[in-house]
Amino acid sequence: MATVNALLAALHDRTLEPSAQPSTPSTTEISGLSRLFGNATRILALIDPPPDVMAILQAMPKAEPADEPVNTPITTIGYTLGVLADTLNANPATVRNTVNRPGVSGDSLV
């Protein structure tokens, strides 16, 4: 089972890796990634992640929402993170109490 600390460490490692995608992303890809980055930022803001992770996410390209639904896997993940962000942000005290319990090192997310 993944812990909050393990997931944050993995996210930190992944944000430092160079991008393997040489081409310029399409408008559809930017729209999906923008949704994903925005919702990931909303979730991570609740659990006090490393500052460099937040800076990287906040520096990612922003896009206006598409006029029509975008059916891509990255957009689906972005929507899923949005639902999770809404749920967590509706109960911020519970999230903070779970993550910051004294004597507990990295509570399980699952």
What pLDDT is recorded for position 110? 39
Which region among 7-21, 33-47, 85-99 has the lowest average model confidence (pLDDT)?
7-21
Report the pLDDT value the prediction gives residue 65, as an integer from 0 to 100.
Answer: 66
Q: What is the pTM of this model?
A: 0.61
CA distance 83 to 77: 10
Residue 109 lies in a domain: no
Lowest pLDDT segment from 30-34, 68-72, 88-92: 68-72
pLDDT score of 25 more than 50: yes
46 belongs to a structural domain: yes
Beta-carbon contacts of residue 52 (< 8 Å; ≥ 6 apart): 12, 15
Give the Cα separation of 76 and 63 in Å (integer): 16
CA atoms within 13 Å, Cβ hemisphere of 89: 13
Q: How many domains does the chain have?
A: 1
Tokens of 9: 């460490």
Residue 20 placed within a domain: no
Mean pLDDT of 66-91: 82
Rounded alpha-carbon distances, angstroms, from residue 81 to 18, 71, 102, 105: 23, 15, 27, 24
Q: Which domain does 30 fall in, by range?
A: 25-99
Structural domain contains residue 35: yes
Q: Percent of the chain at pLDDT above 70? A: 69
Residue 74 lies in a domain: yes
**Is-contact 110 1, C-beta < 8 A?**
yes
